[in-house]
Amino acid sequence: MPPSTTGTTPTPTRLTRPAATPFREALPVPLVRAGARGRVALTALAAALVTAVLAWRYAGHTDAGRTDREVAALLDTQHGVPRVLAEAFAALGGPLPVAVALLVLAPLAWFLRGGRGLALVLVGPPTAMITTSLVLKPLVERTRGGELAFPSGHTTSVASLAVACGVLVLGLTTLPRALRLLAVAGLAGLVLAVGVGLVVRGYHYPTDTLGALGVAVAVVLGAALAVDAWSDVVADPGPDPRSFDPRERPTDVLPRAVREE
């Protein structure tokens, strides 16, 4: 530090951390809290298990199962406003709306949750969509109207984006908890509306949409845990080498380093 022309030692400038705002954390935080990662992993595993059981049950089938018929009977709407709404919600899982949603969500995730949020959006939903369309559909070979139906691609697209949004929103601790839960409830309602719309319009069986929801939850939550794990490894600088005394023997330094961690 150069000497002051007035003969006094200048006060060093202190770097301050950016203040938190109602929509952004002051410092990067994990996508999933450390204490909740076990529960999130179990949730992802349970979702994957549901999809696996349904895939095994309906592999190679071309007709509806008993559960499909009972649920579809409750949603039988052929005319009027409900039919129009069903078509509108079903269309939300199409390629164009999904592409627009990804383009909007990616920078928003970066703003709200930094690099971890952006990585989740770029990895989670696209991986879920690829898993459904290129892996599970050809593998299960369940068809409806001559088209591969399990899991539902439209439901996977919307659900995976909704789960990613839910992870981003739940981590915003600067927002009131009630507001975060309300946002998640709205996302869940949107996914339900899309699934119902696909069933009402006859594009999918109910179990197709349930299997797709399992794919979205399993893949996106798994991606969130993977992003956190990778980010934690990259961000960990390890022990500070300046804290070691070169005169100490390795057997003296190692226990102290373990205690500091």
| pLDDT value at 134 more than 50 | yes
Comparing CA positions, the residue from 70, 217, 115 lying closest to residue 158 is 217
Residue 143, strand partner residues: 148
User: What pLDDT shows up at residue 17?
Assistant: 44
Work out the number of other CB atoms within 10 angstroms of the CB of residue 63: 11
Quote the pLDDT of residue 15. 43
Q: How confident is the model at residue 233 (pLDDT cuts 50, 70, 90)?
A: confident
Report whether pLDDT(247) > 60: no
Q: Residues 206, 208, 209, 215: what is their CA dihedral angle, to the nearest 10 degrees?
A: 150
pTM score: 0.80
Q: Where are the alpha helices (DSSP H) in the chain?
A: 37-58, 66-74, 80-91, 95-130, 137-140, 153-170, 177-200, 206-235, 250-260
Q: What is the pLDDT of residue 26?
A: 46
pLDDT (tens digit per residue) in 75-133: 776 667 778 888 899 999 999 999 999 999 999 999 999 999 999 999 999 999 999 99
What average pLDDT does the segment 240-257 reach?
Answer: 53
* pLDDT, position 124: 96
Q: Looking at the predicted structure, is the pLDDT value of residue 179 above 80?
A: yes
Token pair listed for 160: 């995976």
Percentage of the chain exceeding pLDDT 70:
77
pLDDT band at 245 (very low <50, low <70, confident <90, very high): low
Residues in the chain: 261
Among candidates 244, 243, 222, 236, which has minimal Cα distance to 31?
222
Higher local confidence (pLDDT), 229 or 260: 229
Residue 214 Cα distances to 5, 54, 174, 209, angstroms: 69, 10, 30, 9
Confidence of residue 189 (pLDDT cuts 50, 70, 90): very high
Q: What is the pLDDT of residues 12-64, one digit of tens each?
A: 444 444 445 455 554 568 899 988 999 999 999 999 999 999 999 999 998 88
